[in-house]
Amino acid sequence: MKERNFRMIDRNRRFARRAVKVEYAQSLILQHVRQLDSEYVTIDSCLHRRISEPLFSKEGMPHFRRSGLDGYAVLGEDASFATPQHPACLKVIDEVPAGSVASKQVIAGTAIRVMTGSAVPDGANAVVMFEQTEEFEADGQVWVRVKHTVAQGQNITGIGDEITPGQLLMGKGTRIGPGQIALLASQGHARVPVIRRPVVGILTTGSELVAVGDPLLPGKIRNSNDYMLAAQIEQYGGRAMKYGTAPDDLDGIARTIRAAIQECDMLVVSGGVSVGDYDIMADFFSSMNGEGMEMLFNKIAMRPGSPTTAGFINKKLVFGLSGNPGACFIGFELLVRLALLAMQGIADPCSHSIQAVMAEDFGKGCPHDRYIRGRMSHAHQQVTVTALVKNNSSMLVSIQDANCLVRIPAGSRGVAAGQQVEVIPLPYESTLY
Ligand SMILES: Nc1nc2c(c(=O)[nH]1)N[C@H]1C(S)=C(S)[C@@H](COP(=O)(O)OP(=O)(O)OC[C@H]3O[C@@H](n4cnc5c(N)ncnc54)[C@H](O)[C@@H]3O)O[C@H]1N2
Ligand code: MOO
């Protein structure tokens, strides 16, 4: 009898949940999450990292007047009236391979051979490509005939034309790709200041879970959320740290979580957040509420993933995501992702939704906004989106085909083909090659 009473009280506590809107839950996360500290990494290992401070150019680029072609550095005035019939004849007095500088100056009546990328000698104000000239030798002296008029400045990139000294190269939070790496290398950044990658712990719950390499037994399933969450974390710049499957008693799980948050910047727990008899995370969050935990929310007015929960324990954000793989995926994309990006210094990490037209009816109504996995495509200057089949919260097979989430607004009828909907693009599009 005593045990029965305890259970009733416990359940009532779990049911004390007030659903908040997705946007409100997102704003709570953003209000609380802080950017992580920074570190230096070598340029060879900075791909996809985030710059931790605005970077300014140390040098102008180019830092010398650079020839754009293989040709002759000349004074444009010497060839103002040159034509193939009446070429200008100039004395060739030197040669500058790339990486060297001329020992002489170009003066009226002379030319110096230059190569693509080499420093244009002082005195010259234009470069004429070899193809528009003819070289010849007379009395042991090399000469060049310039057969076309030459415009001042032609084929010369001026000092600082590309980058001026002190110019902003990239802002804080910029994600480093090949273009940024080229720029960093050209400016001599052998070490690059980046934001530390957030370490995100993953803890799964459920006595039905077996490891990926284990055979299935009656009632058991493989722990797919563990791997899916790790991939999502890595996709958004975090480092996943796995804590396995939690013990199924409250003290055990509390110990595991406390130990995990000592090592991580944030912890994501999958499963056990609903109201079932074994939903241990709901018990954990209830027991911690006000006891060293600042609860952000424990219910969201959305489907799937309505029991999604988040709170701060020892200043570390702990997410309780639904165990259902579809709901777990979407809970991560809508909420955990934001925290992960904010930790990496991204000022506006909310996913930017776009408008699309539904290709087919989606007839399932819902009292709350529903987020479904969709596939969008672009044709005739319009984005069209199709709801993927097998979209249930408990199903994962359609996640691989999803390139967006479609928001079906709360209402009893769903949406009809041709109606406009909001879609949130996902970065999981398969490669085009
Ligand atoms: N009486 C009610 N039952 C349920 C409600 C409710 O309001 N009242 N909510 C439903 C909704 S909505 C969801 S979502 C789920 C949430 O459940 P939990 O977050 O507590 O997750 P579990 O019960 O642990 O698991 C649900 C489902 O997912 C499978 N699972 C769990 N972990 C993994 C994993 N790591 N990898 C793959 N699959 C996993 C698990 O076996 C279950 O099938 O509750 C509804 N029930
Ligand atoms: O969150 Mo549950 O997956 O809404 O079905």
Q: Which pair of structure tokens corresponds to residue 251?
A: 């003290």
Count: domains in the chain: 4
User: Of 95, 129, 157, which residue is a domain's last?
Assistant: 157
Q: Are residues 227 and 307 in the same domain?
A: yes
Q: What is the pLDDT of residue 7?
A: 47
For residues 133 and 73, the answer to whether their CB atoms sit within 8 Å is: no
pLDDT in tens, 97-138: 888 999 999 999 999 999 999 999 999 999 999 999 999 999
Q: For ligand 1, is residue 324 a contact (CB within 6 Å)?
A: yes
Q: For ligand 1, is residue 273 a contact (CB within 6 Å)?
A: yes
Residue 336 lies in a domain: yes
Which residue range(s) make up the domain with 294?
16-36+196-343
Residue 325 lies in a domain: yes
Confidence class for position 433, pLDDT limits 50, 70, 90: low
Mutate to test the pocket of ligand 2, among 299, 306, 394 (most ligand atoms within 8 A of CB): 306
- CATH number of the domain residue 124 falls in: 2.170.190.11
Mutate to test the pocket of ligand 2, among 308, 321, 322 (most ligand atoms within 8 A of CB): 322
Q: Mean pLDDT in the chain?
A: 92
Q: For ligand 1, is residue 97 a contact (CB within 6 Å)?
A: no
Residue 61 lies in a domain: no
Q: For ligand 2, is residue 391 a contact (CB within 6 Å)?
A: no
- CATH number of the domain residue 232 falls in: 3.40.980.10
- Which protein residue's CA is at the shortest distance from atom 32 of ligand 1? 323
- Which protein residue's CA is at the shortest distance from atom 30 of ligand 1? 323
Kindly compute the dihedral angle of the four CA atoms of residues 256, 260, 262, 268, in this order, to the nearest 10 degrees: -120
Q: Please, what is the end-to-end C-alpha distance for the chain in angstroms?
A: 65
Confidence class for position 79, pLDDT limits 50, 70, 90: very high
Q: For ligand 1, is residue 283 a contact (CB within 6 Å)?
A: no
Residue 90 lies in a domain: yes
- Which protein residue's CA is at the shortest distance from atom 4 of ligand 2? 304
Least-confidence region, from 6-20, 89-103, 257-271, 323-337: 6-20
Residue 1 has pLDDT above 50, yes or no: no
Q: Are residues 90 and 122 in the same domain?
A: yes
Q: What is the pLDDT of residue 432?
A: 59
Handedness of CA 347, 404, 274, 321 (dihedral sign): negative
Residue 390 lies in a domain: yes
Please state the pTM of the whole predicted model: 0.87
**CA–CA distance, 362 with 244 (Å, rounded to integer):** 37
- Token look-up 């003066």 returns 107
Other CB atoms within a 10 A radius of the CB of residue 38 amount to: 16
- Which protein residue's CA is at the shortest distance from atom 23 of ligand 1? 272
Query: Ligand 1 atom closest to Cα of 272?
Result: 20
Q: Are residues 96 and 140 in the same domain?
A: yes
pLDDT in tens, 54-77: 999 989 999 999 999 999 999 999
Residue 164 lies in a domain: no
Q: Are residues 316 and 247 in the same domain?
A: yes
| Cβ neighbours for 120, distance < 8 A, ≥ 6 positions apart | 64, 65, 66, 67, 73, 114, 127, 156
User: Of 343, 370, 395, which residue is a domain's last?
Assistant: 343
Other CB atoms within a 10 A radius of the CB of residue 417 amount to: 12
Residue 3 has pLDDT above 90, yes or no: no
- CATH number of the domain residue 416 falls in: 2.40.340.10
- Which protein residue's CA is at the shortest distance from atom 5 of ligand 2? 304
Q: Are residues 82 and 216 in the same domain?
A: no
Q: What is the pLDDT of residue 430?
A: 57
Q: For ligand 2, is residue 320 a contact (CB within 6 Å)?
A: no
- Which protein residue's CA is at the shortest distance from atom 1 of ligand 2? 305
Q: Which pair of structure tokens corresponds to residue 23?
A: 């946007």
> Could you tell me whether strands 309-313 and 316-321 are parallel, antiparallel, or unpaired per DSSP bridges?
antiparallel
CA distances from 55 to 178, 180, 237, 238, 424 (A): 16, 11, 20, 23, 31
Question: Sheet harboring 266-270: ordered strands across?
Answer: 239-245, 199-204, 266-270, 316-321, 309-313, 293-297
Q: For ligand 1, is residue 309 a contact (CB within 6 Å)?
A: no
Q: Are residues 302 and 314 in the same domain?
A: yes
Buried b (16+ CB within 10 A) or exposed e, 2-18: eeeeeeeeeeeebeebe
Mutate to test the pocket of ligand 1, among 202, 222, 279, 324 (most ligand atoms within 8 A of CB): 324
Q: What is the pLDDT of residue 31?
A: 94
Confidence class for position 33, pLDDT limits 50, 70, 90: very high
**CA–CA distance, 41 with 164 (Å, rounded to integer):** 26
Q: Are residues 372 and 320 in the same domain?
A: no
Confidence class for position 32, pLDDT limits 50, 70, 90: very high
C-alpha 327 to ligand 2 mean position (Å): 6
Q: What DSSP string describes 32-94?
A: H-----EEEEEGGG-TT-BBSS-EE-SS-BSSS-EESSSEEEE-GGGGTT--SSS-EEEEEEE
Q: Are residues 78 and 135 in the same domain?
A: yes
C-alpha 325 to ligand 2 mean position (Å): 9
Taking residues 394-403, report their average pLDDT: 96
For residues 121 and 94, the answer to whether their CB atoms sit within 8 Å is: yes
Residue 6 lies in a domain: no
CA angle 390, 401, 389 (to 5 degrees): 20
Query: Ligand 2 atom closest to Cα of 322?
Result: 1
User: Could you tell me which residue, 271 or 3, shows the higher pLDDT?
Assistant: 271
C-alpha 363 to ligand 2 mean position (Å): 17
Q: Are residues 223 and 328 in the same domain?
A: yes
Q: Are residues 257 and 338 in the same domain?
A: yes
Q: What is the pLDDT of residue 380?
A: 86
Q: For ligand 2, is residue 271 a contact (CB within 6 Å)?
A: no
Q: Are residues 244 and 219 in the same domain?
A: yes
Q: Are residues 208 and 183 in the same domain?
A: no
SS3 283: helix
Q: What is the pLDDT of residue 8?
A: 44
Query: How many alpha carbons lie under 13 Å from residue 162 in its C-beta half-sphere?
Result: 14
Q: What is the pLDDT of residue 400?
A: 94
Other CB atoms within a 10 A radius of the CB of residue 170 amount to: 17
pLDDT in tens, 185-227: 999 999 999 999 999 999 999 999 999 999 999 999 999 999 9
**CA–CA distance, 190 with 178 (Å, rounded to integer):** 15
